């Protein structure tokens, strides 16, 4: 079936969320150029577990956005602007950062992109020096 995207108001974020296929992550907004796709993403749940006491908390303290690279889509480089929530635990009363499964804290790449790079290097037969 041929699908024509004609409406400017068409909601592409749910489609991009499906394409991105990262657990619990939704695409909130996107920008594109000929070479790049920039996706603003966040976890769909606002509940996160306190690393100190293990209690579930959802008291938003502040938002913190950072950029990571992800696997390319249709030969376009993909960068994700991840909205990481800083939550204040209602029991310890201490702020902590939401932990997201697909990216390590302070990493510049998603885990699956890092795994793909490692795989490519292992499978590579390129010899730099003959």
Contact residues: Zn ion, CB under 5 A = 50, 52-53, 55, 89, 91-92
**Which residue, 56 or 115, has its beta carbon nearer to Zn ion?**
56
**Which residue, 90 or 108, has its beta carbon nearer to Zn ion?**
90
**Least distance from Zn ion to the Cβ atom of residue 58, Å:** 12
Going by C-alpha positions, the residue among 39, 37, 103 that lies closest to residue 73 is 37
**Least distance from Zn ion to the Cβ atom of residue 49, Å:** 9
**Least distance from Zn ion to the Cβ atom of residue 54, Å:** 7
Could you please report the per-residue DSSP string of 66-129? EEEEEEEETTEEEEEEEEEEEEE-TTT--EEEPP-TTS-TT-SB-HHHHHHHHHHHHH----S-
**Which residue, 81 or 88, has its beta carbon nearer to Zn ion?**
88
């Amino acid at each position: 079936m041929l699908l024509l995207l004609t409406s400017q108001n068409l909601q592409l974020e749910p489609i991009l969320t499906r394409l991105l296929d990262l657990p619990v992550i939704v695409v909130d907004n996107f920008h594109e150029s000929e070479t790049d796709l920039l996706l603003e993403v966040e976890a769909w749940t606002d509940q996160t577990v306190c690393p100190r006491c293990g209690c579930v908390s959802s008291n938003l303290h502040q938002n913190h956005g950072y950029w990571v690279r992800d696997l390319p889509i249709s030969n376009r480089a993909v960068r994700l602007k991840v909205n990481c929530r800083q939550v204040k635990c209602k029991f310890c009363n201490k702020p902590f950062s939401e932990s997201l499964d697909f990216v390590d804290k302070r990493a510049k790449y998603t885990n699956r992109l890092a795994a793909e790079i490692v795989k490519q290097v292992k499978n590579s037969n390129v010899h730099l020096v003959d």
